[in-house]
Structure 1
Amino acid sequence: LGFVFQSFNLLPRTSARENVELPLLYGRHQLSNQQLRERADRVLASVGLQGREEHHPSQLSGGQQQRVAIARALINDPEVLLADEPTGNLDSRTSIEIMGIFQELNGRGITIVMVTHESDIAAYAQRNVVLRDGLVLNDFAVAERRNAVVEMERLTTSARDERE
């Protein structure tokens, strides 16, 4: 089980690598320092942070900090990832990037349970369960699921066209 929070909850005086290694230090794993480093670096690379391993949270953008938090949640190879408002503190473009990571993880077989109040973000999911006051109001498959890769390509093309 992995957890991703809206506020990232990174340790400010530790590097991205050390933040990602943290769950392994409290687990049953008996890994050498080299094994810890290799595993953390692999997971950081998988969320697009290769080359940022030694950066501290204050040296990273909000989106990069959320990627560190996602990497930390993935370090123990969870089958389920719980995400509480993972895009709540991010701009639109970065939110789409994070949803792209979640869609890729889901494609690899990881179940993502995400809480959001943003209907545009919920549209990236396969299924939506709408709750109010602890009761299920609606439970449905998303008919026209948004694809983060396509959305990013559209944004990139649009930005390039504006520059020309």
Structure 2
Amino acid sequence: MVSSHWAKGQARWAAVVSMSLVIGVVTGLHSLVAVATGGLLFALAVLVHEAGHVVAYRALAPLDAPAIFVVRGMRCHLVRMRLVPVSDGAVALAGPLAPAAMAIFFVPLLFADRVAPWLPLVCFAWLALALSHALCAALPFGDGTTIRESWSLARAERSTRQRSSTT
């Protein structure tokens, strides 16, 4: 379910970026077009990141597992129940890697014979955004914390199982 607060906040932001893009194209202000395109790519990268979490969670969690996608303006996250450590880590890692996975679809455009002159710039901007999202996995908060905690719990569980099987 999407709240009206999200729709209003997102609609205002999208209207500003879209109008900037239209004004830039009509007036020939290439810098305004570039900034607006960057804003749209950033928003898309955030949504792809969160979609990666959602897809992985739905693939790895029980069918009746609850999850709520919370969005406030440009900030969003998935509120969900904890899974077994390995699955929890996979869900946390899926978000930062989702924009990089989507970048695979941009690579053929870089080597096509006839492309718009601005398309390689958009592709490289997306690759930079994908790299920044992948680096989020190494940060000491958010997805990075969840990944490290899951890894630590999985190692502890494996160690406990090994000790109990040897006794």
Do both proteins adopt the same fold according to a TM-score greater than 0.5, normalized to the shorter chain?
A: no
TM-score by length of 2: 0.26
Larger strand proportion of the pair? 1
Larger C-alpha radius of gyration, 1 or 2? 2
